[in-house]
Structure formats: C-alpha cells, structure tokens
Amino acid sequence: MQIKVSDNIGFCFGVKHAVELSEEALSKKNGKIYSMGPIIHNPQVVKELSDKGLTPVEDIDGIKEGTVVVSSHGAGAKLKKKKGIKLIDATCPFVKKIQERVDRLYKDGYSVIIIGKKAHPEVKALTDFTDGRAIVVKDAGEARELELNGSKVGIVSQSTYSQDTFLEIVSILLNMPFSEIRVFNTICRDTIKRQGSVRILARDVDMMIVVGGKNSSNTRRLVEVCKDENRDVYHIENEEEIDRSWFSGKESVGIASGTSTPGWVVQDIIDQIGRYN
Amino acid sequence: MQIKVSDNIGFCFGVKHAVELSEEALSKKNGKIYSMGPIIHNPQVVKELSDKGLTPVEDIDGIKEGTVVVSSHGAGAKLKKKKGIKLIDATCPFVKKIQERVDRLYKDGYSVIIIGKKAHPEVKALTDFTDGRAIVVKDAGEARELELNGSKVGIVSQSTYSQDTFLEIVSILLNMPFSEIRVFNTICRDTIKRQGSVRILARDVDMMIVVGGKNSSNTRRLVEVCKDENRDVYHIENEEEIDRSWFSGKESVGIASGTSTPGWVVQDIIDQIGRYN
C-alpha cells in the first residue's frame, strides 16, 4: 500500500513558540510552573511537558506563587497580573493580533462577531475583550438567525477555523441590513495551507488518516475537509488507535496532521502502517 | 386595463434638495448661473431649469464669473474654489457621505473599490478623491478579474446601484486573499426601497412602464429588476413615447419611476394610458 504524506506536517509557528517558552521556563527550575489550560491541543505534548513539571490549571485563582504560562490560545483580558506570580505569555502571535483587533473594534463601537466555536479557549479569550458581548457564530444556520439591524459590524475568525465556513457566514451577513461590515480574515496562513494540501491529497488516495488531538480545532477541520471530498477518514492521536482492517482493499493512504501534532507522532504512525505492507 | 402605481414615486431627498437649491439660485437673478453637468438625470427638469437660466457646463475652466451649482451627483475633489465664481454645492447629502468615506479610506491606506459604472458622474467624482486610483467594478465578470493580493480593501457602492450586483461582487472579492475587507453598503435607502417595490409590482401585473431619464442610473436599475422578473418592460421619459400596441391583450400595467422623475411626468403618463381604456 502506498503511503502519501501531506506537504504540511509538524508544529506551526505558534505551537513551536508556546512549547519553546514552556521548555525554557521548565529549564529554569524556579518554583512551580502552571499552564492556563493545556498549553497546546495535543495530549502527547501536554503529557511530556506535564512529566517535566508543567501543570495545567483552569484558572489562577487558587495559585499563590510560581510561574504561569498562558497557553498558545491566549487567556483573554481577564488574566491580570497577580502578586507573587510570574506570567509568561505563550499566546500565538497571530492570535495576539486577533485579540488586539477585537479590542480595537469593540472600543470603536463595532458589534463584534467571532466566527468559531464558543467553547474553544481562543474564542473564549477573544470574547473577553468585548466584556462578553461578542456574538460567536459557528455555522450558516446560526448566521441566518442573527439580526444585524443596520449596525456597524466587525467580523473576525477563530485562527484555526474552516475557510469555507468563514466565507459562507460572511456572505450570509452581507445580505442583512448593515451600514458597515468590516471583515478580517484572521484564519492563520498555516491553517489555510494545511486545509488546501489535505484537500488535494484526499482526492488522490483511497483513504485518509488525520493525526492530532481530538480537542484540536484545526485537526478537526482537516477531517471535515476529507469528508467534504467524500473520502474515508480516521482521526487518531497515536499509532495505537490504528486498526489493520481499515486498509483492507485500499491501495493508498494519505497522512495529514494538525498544527500541534509533533512530527514524531506522525512518523510512528507511518512506521506502523509500513509494517502492514 | 388596470393601472397600478408603485409605492415609491416622486423625487428622492437628494434630487429635491438639488432642484430647490437651483431654483433658489435662479430666483436671486444674480449674474449667470451654471450647473456642473446636468443638475439631475432627468431631461424635463434640466430643460425646465435651463429655460429659467441654469446652463449646464462640463467644467468651469472657461467660466470667469457667475454662480456654479454642483450637481446632485457631486463634482469631486477637483472642483476648487475659483475667484469670481460662487459655488453652490447641491451634491446629494448621501453622496457627500460616500465621498467622505472614500477620502478617509484612501488616506488610511486602503485600496478603494467602487462598485458602479465608470462613466457615471457620481463615480467619476468619487474616483477623484483617490487621485484616480480607485478601481471601479461594474459586475461579477470584472470582479473575478481583480487581484487583491492580500491587501487592505475598502468597498463602497455608487448610491444608485443594484443591491444584488453589489452583494454578488462583494461575495466574489471575499474569496480572494485579503487581510481586511471593509464594506460600506452605500446604496441609498430610496434606491433600495424603489427596487423592492418594483420587484413586488412587476410580479403582480402583465407589463411594466418605468419612467425616468435614459441617463438615470437608478431608473435603469428599476428596468433591470423588471427584466429579472421576466416581465415585459418599457423605459420611457415622457407620455409621447407610449405606443398603444404595447397594451394589446394586457389586463394590467405597473408604473414605476426613478428618483429624479417629477411626479407630474408620471401623472401625464397615467392620464395617457387611462385614455386607452
């Protein structure tokens, strides 16, 4: 069976940045080190860093001293400086830019619409910059239920969202009465590139395996792209989840991975499939 | 035969404003009075005002003294104050707002896109505010040929353009790479309202007559709306153009008019058709 690997594999810039800042903090061995939520959405990496001493926490209310690393998804405006705690900001620089954008739009009187998933930490943090007033829209159905009422609207997207869904939602909003719609395409380049490569690969193989955290938004988008192309697809986090029966009757398999999936996890999976050949 | 008249008839706010300012200037009998281009796009009104002494000119280069009325479509940034000439600005206040918007966008570094017709005086004047750099896009075909190249884009529309074409073009541009698209729906409320009423009326009658200047953009949009609805439609400027044969076999006719068509012109047409009954 032929194994074809997507063009875009390995950590993206923001994930690399967050992991490096965490490693650096850990290497200093300077008291307890926490991360606000999982530092990235990949269980293997979170476990590896946790083994080295990085403890994920939901909020810093109960913490009196130590170092807190803000995750790659950002922590919002709520996270204020606190005495005795050293803050390390590992927010992805691209996400940081969306935060600044949302902050500016809100202060300038725009109704802010965030295209993404309400429960995603990046979106939660972004909403924070609008005192919780931003409207989060996840799909075309939700968009159709909105009422813009001729207001000034500013639209951004979760950085790892689907480009197609983003454009579909904006097109729906454009058909409502508005005086101004300001659209920032804040889906990060890496996410767009991966979605594009996966689409091309999915058309060229008999089945797809997408590797990444089950909680990773951008990985899940890659799975959706494969489904869009009517291609059999399995979303796995590691080689142990692979089932030999998947490959029966298939001549080729495509492998893709999310922005927070380490290269070695992908390699383990390629090796495992190779053993079936 | 039943005659049904559209809900929105008579001058719009901007046209009324321009005609009133012209009448006022004429009543003062203070030297020669010119208008920069036809004051509005209606031949009857232009003739009426011309008979009273308002002379349309293409530019003011050859004029040494007198009063110049800027037409309802605006005259752009080019029209500077000139010694000996009194300027009266009859630009539609809604068009004025689009001019200010374009000026601001251009100064703020946006690539300005104007959705409309290049040759229309309103669009020509708007382009002036960008030192001629604004890109004018008239339809979906032209939009598809554009290359945004990831830039900051500001989009406005000619005030009398088709709402559907506007939205179609914006949707196409959204699919191109951009960092920000700022969309101002600058089609004026009166234009949108008339397009809506005409659509409803066209569905309800056997044929349509649209009354207004052949050079009137908003009137021509009303004709397009009727064609969209597969309804027989005639675009006329006055009752003399009516041909009795149009009505043979028809049970109802709908009458609509552009924003610069005087009420009395519409009434003359209704009276003329009434005589066939």
Whether B122 sits among the annotated catalytic residues: the reply is: yes
| Cα→Cα distances B226→B211, B229, B230, B256, Å | 13, 5, 6, 10
Can you give the pLDDT at residue A78? 62
Own/partner pairs, A62-66, CB within 8 angstroms, 24+ separation? A63/A34, A65/A31, A65/A32, A66/A31, A66/A32, A66/A33, A66/A34
Q: Taking all residues of chain B, what is their mean pLDDT, rounded to a whole number?
A: 92
**Would the pLDDT of B191 be above 70?**
yes
DSSP H or E run through A253: strand A252-257
Rounded Cα distance, B93 and B91, in Å = 6
Q: Under DSSP, is residue A58 helix (H, G, I), strand (E, B) or coil?
A: coil
Rounded Cα distance, A138 and A147, in Å = 15
Rounded Cα distance, A120 and A158, in Å = 9
**Would the pLDDT of A136 be above 70?**
yes
What number is the average pLDDT over the span B57-69?
A: 88
Whether the model clears a pTM of 0.90, i.e. scores above it, the answer is no
Kindly state whether A174 is in contact with chain B, defined as any CB-CB distance less than 8 angstroms. yes
Cβ-based neighbours of A23, under 8 Å, separated by 6 or more = A49, A52
Lowest-pLDDT range of A61-65, B2-6, B259-263:
A61-65
Q: Taking all residues of chain A, what is their mean pLDDT, rounded to a whole number?
A: 92
Contact A182 B185 (CB under 8 A): no
The pLDDT confidence band at residue A221, using thresholds 50, 70 and 90, is very high
**Would the pLDDT of A29 be above 80?**
no
For B178, nearest residue in chain A (alpha carbons) = A185
**Residues of A with a known catalytic role:** 122
* A chain contacts of residue B177, beta-carbon cutoff 8 Å: 185
Contact A174 B184 (CB under 8 A): no
| Cα→Cα distances B45→A64, B22, B182, B188, Å | 80, 11, 37, 22
ipTM of the complex: 0.72
Which of A98, A178, A180 best probes binding to B when mutated, by most B CB atoms within 10 angstroms?
A180
What number is the average pLDDT over the span A155-179?
A: 90
Rounded Cα distance, B42 and A7, in Å = 61
Contact A185 B180 (CB under 8 A): yes
* A chain contacts of residue B183, beta-carbon cutoff 8 Å: 174, 178, 180-183
Q: Under DSSP, is residue A129 helix (H, G, I), strand (E, B) or coil?
A: coil
**Would the pLDDT of B155 be above 90?**
yes
For B165, nearest residue in chain A (alpha carbons) = A175
**Would the pLDDT of A112 be above 90?**
yes
Kindly state whether A181 is in contact with chain B, defined as any CB-CB distance less than 8 angstroms. yes
Which residues 8-47 of chain A have a CB within 8 Å of chain B? none
Greater confidence (A178 vs A7) lies with A7
Can you give the pLDDT at residue B58? 85
Q: What angle do CA A45, A51, A56 make, to 5 degrees?
A: 70
Can you give the pLDDT at residue B97? 95
Can you give the pLDDT at residue A256? 97
* A chain contacts of residue B179, beta-carbon cutoff 8 Å: 184-185
Which of B162, B180, B186, B193 best probes binding to A when mutated, by most A CB atoms within 10 angstroms?
B180
Lowest-pLDDT range of A198-212, A242-256, B53-67, B201-215:
B53-67
**Would the pLDDT of A259 be above 70?**
yes
Rounded Cα distance, A122 and A73, in Å = 5
Rounded Cα distance, A214 and A211, in Å = 9
**Would the pLDDT of B150 be above 70?**
no
Q: Maximum CA pair distance of chain A?
A: 62
Length of chain B as a residue count:
277
How far is C-alpha A172 from the geometric centre of its chain's CA atoms? Answer: 24
B183 min Cα distance to partner chain A (Å)? 5
* Residue reference for tokens 């390995």: A10
Q: Tokens for B70, please give them.
A: 């800027």
Among the partner-chain residues A167, A174, A175, the one whose CB lies closest to the CB of B175 is A167
User: Which structural domains are found in chain A, ordered by start?
Assistant: 2-10+189-276 (3.40.1010.20), 13-91 (3.40.50.11270), 94-183 (3.40.1010.20)
Cα torsion A164, A168, A173, A179: sign: positive
The pLDDT confidence band at residue A175, using thresholds 50, 70 and 90, is confident
Strand pairing report for A152-157 and A207-211: unpaired
What is the DSSP secondary-structure string of B252-272? Answer: EEEEEE-TTS-HHHHHHHHHH
* Alpha-helix residue ranges (DSSP H) falling in chain A: 13-27, 43-51, 93-107, 121-128, 140-145, 163-174, 189-204, 217-228, 263-276
The pLDDT confidence band at residue A147, using thresholds 50, 70 and 90, is confident
For B180, nearest residue in chain A (alpha carbons) = A184
At B44-54, the pLDDT tens digits run: 999 999 999 99
At B69-128, the pLDDT tens digits run: 999 999 876 677 788 889 999 999 999 999 999 999 999 999 999 999 999 999 999 999
